[in-house]
Chain A
């Protein structure tokens, strides 16, 4: 029998990972400590910069008195509805733009023009049309999130492998079968990318819309805290927003990896 050489499992990759994690966290820690010191020794007007410890305190306060949850629910509603409708509309629109030449020729320029318009500048109009309530925010989220989806799906359709279509046709596939078995799977990674971008833009849309013309929600809370010089609360609000964004992005990234297994980052051989 031939002897097969087997090397022991190497820890090199793991060690490198730990080292880089340590390095990254120590920079953040250093930043927080310097910030705290800057505050404690009154180098800058404490009214303006707050401090990590006071931000944590403010965070605990808004958690305890329920105001955070209350605002989170309102902002969450605006985001979920706007984002949901953006997916429901953006997905078919992007696919149709990519799949049908005629649709692209007809609506391509219109959509490009829409995309170039800064959505938030339309906020005053939306407030007139839909009021200060949740609806005007949903519209902003929708308009912020829909374009990354449309663009990504349209691009996805242009990356379809023509050889695969050739093979499918040779096996007698109908246009619909080509679409289902080749075009749709091709769009999946692009859809995930689109969803990630759209989530970021949508979140930004919620906050900016509430800061500009809100009566409730996280953005309003931040804006109100700022105008009353509650710097701690501003930072606490920003922290919550950032955390939400990171969590959302991480989840979608994971989802993307799940659907991308066939691409070979997790090759077996």
Chain B
């Protein structure tokens, strides 16, 4: 526990926000309200995204007027029915999908395309099959112009963090799905992005592996204190990991609710059995259910 807090404070200090560094007396991380004091990392204003239907010539709106601020170190999750526009939203932040209106800022810089200040983890691991694990993890760094040797050194910390040490010389096909997704995660973390974007990162895994990976991500995020925006349709996953859960409406997506998760950190997966956890899950579920009934969105 002490170790985790040490890590956090050193990362925060390194980022130049010494005031955010935690005391070493073993106190827990502050409750989510305190994020208000922190600088905004990712700011989305009035975002509208549409897809042009080439046959009819109409533009189908997928994301409708979403405004959202995410502060440094915050873990925010978007939940919503499948097909509502979550991935579209995330891809727009990644710079992969153009938006028609509004703006996206990371550290106050307007996003116009992909960049090293963001890294994405998709549902599919999509590792380069001809590269060994080590060179897959450094792929993002190499694309940014770093030499393989230097990239390996920089990535080393994250290889340990996702417990892949000893697997650097394996090919992706020799790994299980969970391990492949860890490589995917390490590849993103190695770039040391300002904002980490996760699009249903565990959806393709079996139930047991998914739970284990959730716990690992929880531990990992509390260690490195990254700003994270995740998309999922697993409500328990959202509550377990997040400081805030944003609920998207059915298509076109807008923000139905923005729910704080005031559970103390560091968290353990046993909190799933707590009264508070169930209350939060119910609250989120009722919002989604209500929207689905009105919109007939299922």
What residues make up the interface of A, taking CB atoms closer than 8 Å to B? Answer: 161, 163-164, 166-173, 177, 181-182, 185, 188, 261-264, 267-269
Q: Given contacts A168-B143, A172-B143, is CB(A263)–CB(B116) below 8 Å?
A: no
Q: Does B119 contact A (CB under 8 A)?
A: yes
Q: How far is the CA of A167 from the CA of B144 in the complex (A)?
A: 14
- Among A167, A177, A182, A185, chain B packs the most CB atoms within 10 A around the CB of A167
Q: Which residue of A lies closest to B193 (CB)?
A: A171
B residues sitting closer than 8 Å to A (CB atoms) are 94-96, 113-116, 119-120, 122, 124, 126, 128-132, 139-140, 142-144, 170-174, 191
A-B contact count (CB 8 A): 64
Question: Are B174 and A171 in contact, CB atoms less than 8 angstroms apart?
Answer: no
A-B contact sample (6 more), CB < 8 A, given A169-B114, A172-B114, A172-B144:
A167-B120, A167-B122, A173-B143, A261-B171, A262-B131, A262-B173
- Cβ-defined contact, B173 with A268, below 8 A: no
Cα A262 to Cα B131 in complex, Å, equals: 7
Q: Are A181 and B173 in contact (CB under 8 A)?
A: no
Minimal beta-carbon separation of A259 from chain B (angstroms):
8
* 18 residue pairs from A and B, CB less than 8 Å apart: A163-B122, A163-B126, A164-B126, A164-B128, A166-B126, A170-B119, A170-B122, A171-B114, A172-B114, A172-B115, A172-B143, A177-B143, A181-B142, A185-B130, A262-B131, A262-B132, A262-B173, A263-B173
Report the separation of the CA atoms of residues A267 and B132 in the bound assembly, to the nearest whole angstrom. Answer: 13
From A161, A166, A171, A188, give the contact of B139 (CB < 8 A): A171
Q: Please, how many angstroms separate the alpha-carbon atoms of A268 and B170 in the complex?
A: 9
Nearest-Cβ distance from residue B122 to partner chain A, whole angstroms = 7
List B contacts of A161 (CB < 8 A): 126
**Could you tell me if B171 and A170 are in contact, using CB atoms closer than 8 angstroms?**
no
Q: Smallest CB–CB gap between A169 and chain B, Å?
A: 6
